[in-house]
Amino acid sequence: MKENGAAELAPPVVPADVYTEEYYTGCCAGHEEWVRSGGALAAGVYAHCLALAGVAKGDVVLDVGTGRGELLAIAIERGAARAIGIEYAAAAIPLALQTVVRHSIAGRADVVLGDARQLPLADASVDLVAMLDVVEHLAPDELALSFREAHRVLRRGGRIVVHTMPNVEIYSITYRVLRRIWPGGRRWPADPRNDMERLMHVNEQSQRSLQRALDAAGFHNVDVELGHWIYTDFVPAEPARKVYAWLARFGRTRRFGIGNLLATANR
Protein backbone atom coordinates (compact mmCIF):
# COMPACT_ATOMS: atom_id res chain seq x y z
CA MET A 1 0.00 0.00 0.00
CA LYS A 2 1.07 3.57 -0.50
CA GLU A 3 2.27 5.39 2.58
CA ASN A 4 -0.28 7.29 4.64
CA GLY A 5 1.63 10.47 3.96
CA ALA A 6 0.81 10.44 0.24
CA ALA A 7 -0.18 13.85 -1.08
CA GLU A 8 -3.88 14.66 -1.05
CA LEU A 9 -5.36 14.62 -4.53
CA ALA A 10 -7.22 17.51 -6.11
CA PRO A 11 -10.87 16.82 -6.93
CA PRO A 12 -11.15 14.97 -10.25
CA VAL A 13 -11.92 17.09 -13.30
CA VAL A 14 -14.87 14.81 -14.10
CA PRO A 15 -16.68 14.16 -10.79
CA ALA A 16 -17.24 10.51 -9.93
CA ASP A 17 -20.96 11.02 -9.37
CA VAL A 18 -21.61 11.78 -13.05
CA TYR A 19 -20.97 8.09 -13.68
CA THR A 20 -24.32 6.64 -12.71
CA GLU A 21 -25.70 3.10 -12.87
CA GLU A 22 -27.65 4.22 -15.93
CA TYR A 23 -24.38 5.20 -17.62
CA TYR A 24 -22.83 1.78 -17.05
CA THR A 25 -25.93 -0.15 -18.06
CA GLY A 26 -27.20 2.01 -20.90
CA CYS A 27 -24.34 3.94 -22.44
CA CYS A 28 -20.84 2.76 -21.47
CA ALA A 29 -19.26 0.59 -24.16
CA GLY A 30 -20.09 -3.10 -23.78
CA HIS A 31 -23.30 -2.52 -21.86
CA GLU A 32 -25.46 -4.45 -24.32
CA GLU A 33 -23.71 -7.78 -23.75
CA TRP A 34 -23.47 -7.28 -20.00
CA VAL A 35 -27.09 -6.27 -19.50
CA ARG A 36 -28.47 -8.94 -21.81
CA SER A 37 -26.63 -11.67 -19.91
CA GLY A 38 -26.83 -10.30 -16.39
CA GLY A 39 -23.07 -9.98 -16.27
CA ALA A 40 -22.18 -13.33 -17.84
CA LEU A 41 -21.07 -11.99 -21.24
CA ALA A 42 -18.58 -9.32 -22.26
CA ALA A 43 -17.83 -7.31 -25.37
CA GLY A 44 -14.92 -8.65 -27.40
CA VAL A 45 -12.63 -5.71 -26.65
CA TYR A 46 -11.78 -7.10 -23.20
CA ALA A 47 -10.48 -10.45 -24.42
CA HIS A 48 -8.76 -8.77 -27.35
CA CYS A 49 -6.84 -6.37 -25.11
CA LEU A 50 -5.78 -9.12 -22.72
CA ALA A 51 -4.56 -11.22 -25.64
CA LEU A 52 -2.69 -8.23 -27.03
CA ALA A 53 -0.99 -7.68 -23.68
CA GLY A 54 -0.17 -11.37 -23.35
CA VAL A 55 -1.89 -12.23 -20.08
CA ALA A 56 -0.14 -15.31 -18.71
CA LYS A 57 -0.94 -18.04 -16.21
CA GLY A 58 -0.21 -16.83 -12.69
CA ASP A 59 -0.29 -13.11 -13.53
CA VAL A 60 -1.63 -10.50 -11.15
CA VAL A 61 -3.80 -8.21 -13.29
CA LEU A 62 -4.89 -4.69 -12.37
CA ASP A 63 -7.84 -3.17 -14.22
CA VAL A 64 -7.88 0.60 -13.71
CA GLY A 65 -11.38 1.97 -14.24
CA THR A 66 -12.91 -1.48 -14.11
CA GLY A 67 -16.51 -0.33 -14.54
CA ARG A 68 -18.72 -3.43 -14.66
CA GLY A 69 -15.70 -5.69 -14.09
CA GLU A 70 -15.76 -7.77 -17.27
CA LEU A 71 -12.00 -7.71 -17.67
CA LEU A 72 -11.51 -9.20 -14.21
CA ALA A 73 -13.53 -12.28 -15.14
CA ILE A 74 -11.80 -12.78 -18.48
CA ALA A 75 -8.35 -12.37 -16.91
CA ILE A 76 -9.10 -15.10 -14.35
CA GLU A 77 -10.58 -17.35 -17.03
CA ARG A 78 -7.37 -16.92 -19.04
CA GLY A 79 -5.14 -18.03 -16.18
CA ALA A 80 -4.45 -14.96 -14.06
CA ALA A 81 -3.92 -15.86 -10.41
CA ARG A 82 -5.54 -12.65 -9.19
CA ALA A 83 -7.39 -9.73 -10.74
CA ILE A 84 -7.92 -6.37 -9.03
CA GLY A 85 -10.38 -3.78 -10.28
CA ILE A 86 -9.97 -0.14 -9.24
CA GLU A 87 -12.97 2.10 -9.80
CA TYR A 88 -13.61 5.63 -8.55
CA ALA A 89 -17.33 5.73 -9.39
CA ALA A 90 -19.31 4.20 -6.53
CA ALA A 91 -22.18 3.37 -8.87
CA ALA A 92 -20.02 0.83 -10.72
CA ILE A 93 -18.97 -1.18 -7.67
CA PRO A 94 -22.19 -3.25 -7.29
CA LEU A 95 -22.13 -4.00 -11.02
CA ALA A 96 -18.54 -5.22 -10.90
CA LEU A 97 -19.34 -7.34 -7.85
CA GLN A 98 -22.28 -8.82 -9.76
CA THR A 99 -19.86 -9.84 -12.51
CA VAL A 100 -17.52 -11.41 -9.96
CA VAL A 101 -20.37 -13.43 -8.45
CA ARG A 102 -21.78 -14.41 -11.83
CA HIS A 103 -18.40 -15.85 -12.85
CA SER A 104 -17.74 -17.49 -9.46
CA ILE A 105 -14.37 -15.76 -9.06
CA ALA A 106 -14.78 -14.32 -5.57
CA GLY A 107 -11.52 -14.79 -3.71
CA ARG A 108 -9.52 -14.42 -6.90
CA ALA A 109 -10.94 -11.06 -7.99
CA ASP A 110 -11.21 -7.91 -5.88
CA VAL A 111 -13.14 -4.72 -6.60
CA VAL A 112 -11.82 -1.61 -4.84
CA LEU A 113 -13.12 1.94 -4.71
CA GLY A 114 -10.05 4.03 -5.51
CA ASP A 115 -8.43 6.61 -7.74
CA ALA A 116 -6.22 5.97 -10.77
CA ARG A 117 -4.02 8.87 -9.69
CA GLN A 118 -3.13 7.22 -6.37
CA LEU A 119 -3.44 3.47 -6.64
CA PRO A 120 -3.84 1.59 -3.33
CA LEU A 121 -1.23 -1.01 -4.27
CA ALA A 122 2.41 -1.58 -3.37
CA ASP A 123 5.29 -0.86 -5.73
CA ALA A 124 6.06 -3.64 -8.23
CA SER A 125 3.06 -5.73 -7.19
CA VAL A 126 1.29 -6.53 -10.48
CA ASP A 127 2.21 -8.07 -13.83
CA LEU A 128 -0.31 -6.39 -16.09
CA VAL A 129 -2.21 -3.10 -15.96
CA ALA A 130 -5.25 -2.57 -18.17
CA MET A 131 -6.78 0.85 -18.82
CA LEU A 132 -9.70 0.38 -21.18
CA ASP A 133 -11.73 3.44 -22.19
CA VAL A 134 -10.30 5.41 -19.29
CA VAL A 135 -7.66 7.80 -20.60
CA GLU A 136 -10.11 10.02 -22.48
CA HIS A 137 -11.85 10.64 -19.13
CA LEU A 138 -8.68 11.93 -17.45
CA ALA A 139 -7.42 15.48 -17.94
CA PRO A 140 -3.77 15.68 -19.11
CA ASP A 141 -2.33 16.15 -15.62
CA GLU A 142 -4.53 13.36 -14.27
CA LEU A 143 -3.45 11.03 -17.06
CA ALA A 144 0.21 11.76 -16.38
CA LEU A 145 -0.27 10.87 -12.69
CA SER A 146 -2.24 7.75 -13.56
CA PHE A 147 0.36 6.46 -16.01
CA ARG A 148 3.11 7.08 -13.45
CA GLU A 149 1.09 5.15 -10.89
CA ALA A 150 0.62 2.28 -13.35
CA HIS A 151 4.37 2.30 -13.94
CA ARG A 152 5.01 2.26 -10.18
CA VAL A 153 2.84 -0.77 -9.39
CA LEU A 154 4.11 -2.86 -12.30
CA ARG A 155 6.93 -5.34 -11.78
CA ARG A 156 9.99 -4.92 -13.98
CA GLY A 157 9.06 -6.19 -17.41
CA GLY A 158 5.35 -5.90 -16.64
CA ARG A 159 2.94 -4.72 -19.30
CA ILE A 160 0.29 -2.07 -19.74
CA VAL A 161 -2.51 -2.19 -22.30
CA VAL A 162 -4.63 0.84 -23.15
CA HIS A 163 -7.76 1.14 -25.26
CA THR A 164 -9.34 4.49 -26.03
CA MET A 165 -12.21 5.73 -28.16
CA PRO A 166 -12.44 8.01 -30.04
CA ASN A 167 -9.25 8.60 -31.91
CA VAL A 168 -9.61 12.38 -31.74
CA GLU A 169 -8.58 12.83 -35.38
CA ILE A 170 -11.90 11.44 -36.65
CA TYR A 171 -13.44 14.57 -35.13
CA SER A 172 -10.71 17.20 -35.27
CA ILE A 173 -9.59 16.50 -38.84
CA THR A 174 -11.93 14.26 -40.85
CA TYR A 175 -15.23 15.65 -39.61
CA ARG A 176 -13.99 19.22 -39.79
CA VAL A 177 -12.90 18.80 -43.43
CA LEU A 178 -16.11 17.01 -44.40
CA ARG A 179 -18.20 19.72 -42.78
CA ARG A 180 -16.39 22.27 -44.91
CA ILE A 181 -16.58 20.49 -48.28
CA TRP A 182 -19.70 18.28 -48.15
CA PRO A 183 -22.87 19.71 -49.72
CA GLY A 184 -24.91 21.11 -46.87
CA GLY A 185 -22.10 20.38 -44.42
CA ARG A 186 -22.10 23.91 -43.05
CA ARG A 187 -25.43 23.07 -41.41
CA TRP A 188 -23.87 20.19 -39.48
CA PRO A 189 -23.07 20.81 -35.78
CA ALA A 190 -19.66 22.42 -35.32
CA ASP A 191 -18.95 19.91 -32.54
CA PRO A 192 -20.14 16.39 -33.44
CA ARG A 193 -19.80 14.97 -29.93
CA ASN A 194 -22.82 13.84 -27.96
CA ASP A 195 -23.70 15.23 -24.53
CA MET A 196 -21.92 12.41 -22.71
CA GLU A 197 -18.68 13.00 -24.58
CA ARG A 198 -18.81 16.74 -23.92
CA LEU A 199 -19.20 16.06 -20.22
CA MET A 200 -16.78 13.17 -19.77
CA HIS A 201 -14.20 13.24 -22.57
CA VAL A 202 -11.71 15.78 -21.32
CA ASN A 203 -8.63 14.32 -23.03
CA GLU A 204 -9.33 12.49 -26.29
CA GLN A 205 -6.18 11.02 -27.78
CA SER A 206 -4.35 10.63 -31.07
CA GLN A 207 -1.65 8.06 -31.75
CA ARG A 208 1.00 10.70 -31.20
CA SER A 209 -0.38 12.11 -27.94
CA LEU A 210 -0.88 8.66 -26.41
CA GLN A 211 2.66 7.67 -27.39
CA ARG A 212 4.02 10.83 -25.74
CA ALA A 213 2.06 10.25 -22.54
CA LEU A 214 3.31 6.68 -22.13
CA ASP A 215 6.88 7.69 -22.96
CA ALA A 216 6.76 10.50 -20.39
CA ALA A 217 5.66 8.06 -17.67
CA GLY A 218 8.78 5.97 -18.23
CA PHE A 219 7.35 3.06 -20.23
CA HIS A 220 9.46 1.23 -22.82
CA ASN A 221 8.59 -0.55 -26.07
CA VAL A 222 5.57 1.70 -26.50
CA ASP A 223 3.40 0.65 -29.43
CA VAL A 224 0.27 2.65 -30.26
CA GLU A 225 -1.84 1.21 -33.06
CA LEU A 226 -5.10 2.03 -34.74
CA GLY A 227 -7.89 -0.40 -33.96
CA HIS A 228 -10.58 -1.59 -36.37
CA TRP A 229 -13.71 0.32 -35.39
CA ILE A 230 -15.17 2.68 -37.95
CA TYR A 231 -17.42 4.89 -35.88
CA THR A 232 -19.59 7.28 -37.89
CA ASP A 233 -22.86 7.68 -35.95
CA PHE A 234 -22.08 11.35 -35.43
CA VAL A 235 -21.92 12.18 -39.17
CA PRO A 236 -25.28 13.72 -40.19
CA ALA A 237 -25.22 12.67 -43.87
CA GLU A 238 -25.35 8.92 -44.48
CA PRO A 239 -23.31 9.07 -47.73
CA ALA A 240 -20.56 11.05 -45.96
CA ARG A 241 -20.11 8.20 -43.48
CA LYS A 242 -18.69 6.07 -46.27
CA VAL A 243 -15.70 8.41 -46.44
CA TYR A 244 -14.47 7.06 -43.11
CA ALA A 245 -14.56 3.47 -44.38
CA TRP A 246 -12.71 4.53 -47.52
CA LEU A 247 -10.01 6.35 -45.54
CA ALA A 248 -9.62 3.31 -43.26
CA ARG A 249 -8.63 1.14 -46.25
CA PHE A 250 -5.28 2.80 -46.87
CA GLY A 251 -2.19 2.94 -44.68
CA ARG A 252 -1.55 6.65 -44.98
CA THR A 253 -5.15 7.66 -44.29
CA ARG A 254 -6.28 5.01 -41.78
CA ARG A 255 -5.87 7.37 -38.84
CA PHE A 256 -8.55 9.63 -40.32
CA GLY A 257 -11.09 6.80 -40.57
CA ILE A 258 -10.48 4.48 -37.63
CA GLY A 259 -12.23 5.35 -34.39
CA ASN A 260 -10.23 3.56 -31.69
CA LEU A 261 -6.63 3.24 -30.49
CA LEU A 262 -4.78 0.40 -28.78
CA ALA A 263 -1.47 0.76 -26.97
CA THR A 264 0.91 -1.63 -25.23
CA ALA A 265 4.15 -0.93 -23.38
CA ASN A 266 6.52 -2.41 -20.84
CA ARG A 267 7.73 -1.30 -17.42
The reply to whether the predicted model has a pTM over 0.85 is yes
pLDDT by residue (tens digit) across 89-106? 999 999 999 999 999 999
CATH hierarchy code of domain 16-169+195-235+260-266: 3.40.50.150
Looking at residue 7, what is its pLDDT?
A: 78
pLDDT in tens, 193-213: 999 999 999 999 999 999 999
Dihedrals φ, ψ of 137, to 5°?
-95, 0
Give the CA distances from residue 145 to residues 66, 135, 213, in Å, rounded to whole numbers and listed in that order.
18, 11, 10
Q: What does the alpha-carbon distance between residue 147 and residue 258 come to, in Å, rounded to a whole number?
A: 24
Q: What is the pLDDT of residue 256?
A: 98
What digits encode the pLDDT tens for the residues 128-184? 999 999 999 999 999 999 999 999 999 999 999 999 999 999 999 999 999 999 999
> How far is 24 from 221, CA to CA, in rounded Å?
33
Identity (one letter) of the amino acid at 112?
Answer: V
pLDDT of 4 > 90? The answer is no
Distance from the Cα of residue 149 to its chain's centroid: 16
22 C-beta neighbours (distance < 10 Å), count: 11
